[in-house]
């Protein structure tokens, strides 16, 4: 059987080897947890999946080839330039599957997204074990399993496996390993043993040491004769064609798929060339010597390298052309070491990140999803002790380069040559080259440190551990007398402890990526310097009503001038402050943040996003409402927020809660709650004291209802136009509206009957039901303006234009100013709204007949024509409202408001003085 046939048979039967399936199953079981598989979309999943029009099937699937990974068109200046159509299509197929099986939008919506990631990781682990067996040599079953299991359960992979967005790392690694396995099993091996081949016996090794870099002329002629010999049978022709496909076609195809899954896949063929060279050539020096002597195999390697290099350059050029004329615009805070202006700081800080990666490979205890901003302090001088560790890393790297150039010593043993060869393959082919594009050496990337980028490079570290196990297990092999070696037991114990620690840690990280609260609270403990981490941790704490801890974490990123210009972080902090009754500080930060937004809006630029800008401004305005108990003021604030951004879900939710608050108030009135009716009566009394007539109050409320109705119509239009689920939501809202309208129609006759049974009480008895802290009616009239109405000064500067009054000058009755002039009430006409006129003197005055006496000095005689000519009292008289509010007065005004409610707040909000806090200042 020819050598090429042997390689083909090996490539086929290797798929059936137990090593592949054993390690794959172990890796799958390590991540198979129902809680993790049913986890929510988290972190970048929102941008890559839920906000991606391609994945959410809002545009045709082939749009994946014209958009970046985040759904933005590649030609757009603000595009991230992450072109990964293969990854995007797999996510799209997952979404289609969710709709087919009916889980789209359900709590277990993410289940099959996670299942695909876990299965891909299991397949990769099996292929890693197979590749390790090739690198470590024949008879290395146990070391290969060690390398595969270590790769499968390493905790640093949790971000790549448990985070759905990181599927690109899994797909890139899958196609990389397929290209590697097809290539190495079909490349021609040297027909004569050379120095670089570590399987030579000692006699050949000693003979070669005398002339390590030369082969005889007869040998070269034999090689050329064998290679020039034509195929003698059909099988040889088919086998030669298959070898050509596996060496030049399939690796190129898998490299393209790997590249379009994640950008780091462009280095696939480079790693194949590095492996081919290190395995079959002792050093660069010996290779050049063979080239000068015309060795056929060395020239064939050069030909393969040229073809693979041209393929790599062509795909890299195509990928660069897809970026368009613009380059990705990264933020400095995402990668401070890479964007540092000082050369010393940039070089040492970037290389310090490599040291941290090596630390995570050996001891993965400090893992976090974000290391941006100040998460990793910069190295600014040699006085920083970390600089010496960087220099040590450089020394080790230079040693590997020297070994690659010069080669091993002629006197080196077989074992030392094996260690050198496997070490160089692990470092260059599987660690350095796959990590090159993420290293900030060739190009500055948009990330400082991320666990996911060392998913494939970790294979190099696993090979080193597999080699260590192979050498030590061979050294501690039991003696002939059958006595067990203590060293071997220690070796097994060490790897058992390591695997146990990794298994527990990967379980912890897997569950952390399933829960937003756990992920960010633990990240804040590991990396408390990152503002992005603190912001996300504070957000999840605020969602769980842990405002004290949320305020502590959000404090460093509360000021928009010092938090990298992120008004959303300021919004989160102001909400926490409002919940802790620190409103003055909250208002100051809100005003500053809105001013900052206007400044950025004027500047514009590539990174300016008008949609996000208005969304942030709308959210900041809503946060003002948390610091006021004036229910009318809350409504005005939320209307303003929704006017700026009608699609702000947070503002819509708060506004619906506000409408439900009013609805609950109305329900309490209809049920005849004496305490609530008494509080409403006092609120209306204050309105009367400020000069508002009954008609003006009703019209003011009606004007506000009209504004809210228009706003809700706008919300309905936005939902129907922009959100498919909005139609179903509005249909449910209309059904609820009809049900409540029917209930009100049934309750109206009972309300009118109850109203007729109630008789207005004299004013001097009104104080009996007023709480003692409000004093007598005379004192109540002197109370400051209540919270139910804005301060009267606001009507003079146009702040509340169109909210309460219609244009009509306020008339004062002649009987009030005939003898002694009194101060007229302030005309409320500065906004162009008229206040309804009071009744003329010649109209019946039933209300005046019912008006009680105002002390001994005030007498109200029966109404006659003569009485109309008598002088008015010194103080102006106002119509006193009844003690119990007339439900029919506000029922008509509230009816339209309640038709848009979707839910009801707890009724306890309006008991125990809750309504009083909304309407009256203490």
Summarised one tens digit per residue, pLDDT across range 575-633 is 888 888 888 888 888 888 888 888 887 776 545 667 788 888 888 888 888 887 777 77
Same domain, 655 and 516: no
Q: What is the pTM of this model?
A: 0.69
Query: What confidence score (pLDDT) does residue 409 get?
Result: 77
Average pLDDT of the segment spanning 709-729? 55
Q: Which residue has the higher pLDDT, 171 or 322?
A: 171
Residue 454 resides in a domain: yes
Task: Report if residue 817 sits inside a domain.
Answer: no
The per-residue pLDDT for 232 is: 58
Range in 98-102, 113-117, 329-333, 694-698 the model is least confident about:
694-698
Per-residue pLDDT band at 719 (split at 50, 70, 90): low
The alpha-helical segments, DSSP class H, found in 323-429 are 343-362, 386-406, 414-424
Q: What's the rounded Cα separation, in Å, for the pair 378 and 261?
A: 32
Query: 546 or 189: whose pLDDT is higher?
Result: 546
3-class DSSP string for 805-866: CCEECCCCCHHHCCCCCCCCCCCCCCCCEECCCCCCCCCCCHHHHCCCCCCCCCCCCCCCCC
φ, ψ (nearest 5 deg) of residue 440? 65, 20
736 — pLDDT class (breaks 50, 70, 90): low
- CA 744 vs. chain centroid, Å, equals 45
pLDDT confidence of residue 802: 37
* pLDDT higher at 861 or 728: 728
Range of the domain at 276: 1-40+110-197+237-365+395-520
263 and 404 co-located in one domain: yes
Average pLDDT over residues 755-761: 52
Distances 858 to 567, 761, 853 between C-alpha atoms, Å: 60, 18, 6
Average pLDDT on 836-842 reads 44
Q: What is the pLDDT of residue 822?
A: 45
Q: In the Cβ-directed half-sphere of 860, how many Cα atoms lie within 13 Å?
A: 16
* pLDDT tens for each residue of 618-675: 888 888 888 877 777 777 888 888 888 888 888 888 888 777 777 777 666 666 666 6
Q: Is the pLDDT of residue 834 over 80?
A: no
Mean pLDDT, the chain, integer:
73
Which of 492, 520, 548 terminates a domain? The answer is: 520
Residue 220 has pLDDT above 90, yes or no: no
Which pLDDT does position 30 carry in this prediction?
Answer: 94
pLDDT for 386 beyond 90? yes
Q: Is residue 30 part of a domain?
A: yes
Which H helix or E strand runs over 299? Answer: helix 296-322
- What pLDDT, on the 0 to 100 scale, is given for residue 197? 40
Residue 121 C-beta-side C-alpha neighbours within 13 Å: 33
What is the domain count for the chain? Answer: 2
Closest CA to 156 of 505, 420, 474: 505
pLDDT (0 to 100) of residue 721: 54
Contact between residue 448 and residue 357 where contact means Cβ atoms under 8 Å apart: no
H or E segment and range at residue 495: helix 486-512
Helix (H, G, I), strand (E, B) or coil at 67: strand
Listed in order, strand segments (DSSP E) in 265-410 are none
Percent of the chain whose pLDDT exceeds 70: 63
Instruction: Give residue for tokens 């002390």.
Output: 855
Residue 25 pLDDT > 90: yes
Residue 396 has pLDDT above 70, yes or no: yes
pLDDT of amino acid 888: 40
Residue 440 domain flag: yes
213 or 29: whose pLDDT is higher?
29
Question: If you average pLDDT over residues 58-69, what whole number do you get?
Answer: 89
pLDDT of 13 reads 42
> pLDDT tens digits for 276-285?
999 888 888 8
Longest dimension (CA), the chain: 144
Q: What percent of the chain is predicted at pLDDT more than 90?
A: 27
Q: What is the 3-state secondary structure (H, E, C) of 540-576?
A: HHHHCCCHHHHHHHHHHHCCCCCCCCCHHHHHHHHHH
Report residue 735's pLDDT band, with 50, 70 and 90 as the boundaries. Answer: low
222 occurs within a structural domain: no
Q: Is 403 helix (H, G, I), strand (E, B) or coil?
A: helix
Q: Is residue 128 part of a domain?
A: yes
**Residue 294 sits in the same domain as residue 440:** yes
- Point out the domain boundary residue: 452, 486, 520: 520
690 occurs within a structural domain: yes
Point out the domain boundary residue: 475, 504, 520. Answer: 520
Helices 18-31 and 111-136 pack at an angle, to 10 degrees, of 140
Task: Quickly state the pLDDT bin for 163 (edges 50, 70, 90).
Answer: very high
Residue 662 located in a structural domain = yes
What local confidence, expressed as pLDDT, does residue 84 receive? 92
């Amino acid at each position: 059987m020819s050598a090429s046939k042997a390689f083909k048979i090996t490539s086929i039967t290797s798929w059936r080897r137990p090593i592949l399936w054993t390690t794959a199953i172990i890796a799958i079981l390590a991540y198979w947890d129902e809680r993790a598989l049913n986890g929510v979309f988290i972190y970048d999943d929102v941008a890559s999946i839920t906000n991606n029009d391609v994945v959410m099937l809002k545009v045709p699937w082939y749009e994946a080839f014209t958009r970046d990974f985040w759904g933005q068109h590649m030609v757009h200046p603000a595009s991230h330039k992450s072109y990964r159509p293969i990854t995007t299509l797999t996510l799209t197929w997952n979404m289609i599957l969710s709709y087919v099986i009916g889980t789209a939008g359900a709590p277990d919506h993410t289940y099959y997204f996670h299942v695909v990631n876990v299965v891909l990781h299991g397949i990769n682990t099996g292929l890693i074990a197979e590749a390790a067996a090739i690198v470590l040599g024949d008879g290395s079953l146990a070391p290969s399993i060690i390398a595969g299991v270590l790769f499968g359960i390493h905790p640093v992979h949790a971000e790549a496996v448990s985070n759905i967005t990181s599927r690109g790392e899994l797909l890139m690694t899958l196609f990389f390993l397929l290209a590697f396995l097809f290539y190495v099993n079909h490349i021609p091996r040297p027909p004569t043993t050379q120095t670089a081949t570590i399987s030579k016996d000692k006699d050949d090794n000693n003979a070669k040491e005398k002339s390590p870099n030369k082969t005889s002329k007869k040998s070269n002629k034999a090689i050329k004769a064998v290679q020039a010999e034509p195929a003698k049978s059909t099988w040889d022709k088919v086998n030669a064609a298959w070898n050509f496909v596996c060496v030049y076609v399939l690796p190129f195809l898998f490299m393209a798929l790997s590249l379009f899954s994640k950008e780091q896949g462009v280095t696939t063929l480079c790693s194949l060339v590095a492996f081919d060279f290190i395995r079959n050539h002792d050093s660069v020096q010996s290779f050049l010597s063979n080239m000068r002597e015309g060795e056929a195999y060395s020239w064939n390697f050069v030909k393969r390298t040229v073809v693979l290099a041209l393929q790599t350059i062509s795909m890299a050029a195509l990928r660069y052309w897809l970026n368009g004329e613009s380059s990705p615009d990264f933020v400095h805070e995402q990668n401070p070491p890479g964007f540092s202006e000082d050369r010393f700081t940039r070089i040492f800080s970037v290389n310090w990140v490599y040291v941290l990666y090596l630390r995570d490979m050996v001891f993965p205890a400090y893992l976090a999803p974000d290391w941006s901003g100040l998460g990793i302090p910069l190295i600014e001088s040699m006085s920083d002790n970390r600089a010496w560790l960087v220099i040590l890393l450089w020394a080790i790297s230079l040693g590997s380069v020297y070994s690659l150039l010069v080669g091993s010593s002629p006197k080196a043993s077989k074992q030392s040559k094996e260690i050198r060869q496997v070490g160089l393959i692990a470092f260059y082919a599987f660690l350095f080259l796959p990590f090159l594009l993420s290293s900030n050496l060739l190009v500055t990337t948009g990330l400082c440190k991320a666990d996911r980028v060392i998913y494939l490079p970790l294979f190099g570290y696993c090979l080193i551990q597999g080699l260590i196990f192979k050498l030590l297990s061979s050294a501690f092999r039991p003696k002939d007398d059958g006595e067990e070696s203590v060293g071997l037991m220690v070796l097994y114990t060490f790897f058992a402890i390591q695997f146990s620690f990794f298994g527990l840690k990967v379980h912890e990280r897997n569950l952390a990526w399933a829960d937003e609260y756990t992920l960010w609270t633990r990240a804040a403990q590991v990396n408390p310097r990152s503002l992005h981490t603190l912001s996300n941790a504070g957000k999840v704490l605020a969602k769980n009503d842990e405002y004290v801890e949320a305020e502590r974490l959000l404090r460093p990123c509360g000021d928009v001038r010092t938090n990298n210009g992120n008004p959303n972080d300021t919004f989160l902090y102001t909400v926490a402050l409002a919940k802790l009754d620190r409103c003055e500080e909250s208002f100051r930060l809100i005003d500053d943040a809105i001013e900052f937004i206007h400044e950025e809006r004027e500047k514009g630029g590539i990174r300016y996003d008008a949609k996000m800008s208005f969304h942030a401004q709308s959210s900041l305005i809503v946060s003002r409402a948390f610091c006021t108990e004036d229910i009318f003021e809350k409504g005005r604030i939320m209307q303003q927020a929704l006017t700026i951004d009608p699609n702000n879900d947070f503002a819509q939710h708060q506004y619906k809660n506000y409408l439900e608050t009013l609805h609950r108030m109305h329900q309490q009135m209809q049920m005849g709650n004496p305490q609530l009716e008494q509080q409403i009566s006092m609120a209306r009394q204050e309105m009367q004291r400020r000069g508002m007539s009954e008609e003006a109050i009703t019209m003011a409320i009606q004007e506000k209802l009209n504004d809210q109705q228009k706003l809700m119509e706008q919300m309905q239009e936005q939902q129907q136009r922009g959100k498919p689920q909005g139609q179903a939501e509005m249909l449910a809202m209309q059904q609820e509206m009809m049900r409540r309208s029917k209930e009100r129609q049934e309750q109206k006759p009972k309300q009118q009957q109850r109203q007729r049974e109630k008789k207005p009480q004299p004013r001097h008895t009104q104080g009996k039901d007023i709480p003692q802290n409000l004093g007598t009616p005379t004192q109540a009239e002197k109370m400051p303006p209540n919270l139910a109405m804005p301060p009267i000064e606001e009507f003079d500067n146009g702040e509340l234009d169109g909210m309460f009054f219609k244009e009509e000058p306020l008339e004062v009755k002649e009987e009030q100013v005939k003898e002694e002039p009194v101060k007229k009430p302030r005309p409320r006409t500065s906004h162009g709204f008229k206040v309804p006129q009071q009744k003329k003197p010649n109209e019946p005055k039933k209300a005046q007949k019912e008006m009680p006496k105002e002390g001994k000095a005030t007498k109200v005689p029966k109404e006659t024509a003569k009485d109309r000519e008598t002088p008015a009292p010194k103080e102006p008289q106002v119509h006193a409202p009844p003690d119990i509010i007339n439900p029919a007065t506000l029922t008509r005004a509230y009816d339209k408001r309640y038709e848009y409610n979707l839910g009801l707040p707890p009724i306890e909000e309006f008991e125990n003085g809750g309504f009083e806090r909304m309407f009256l200042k203490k």
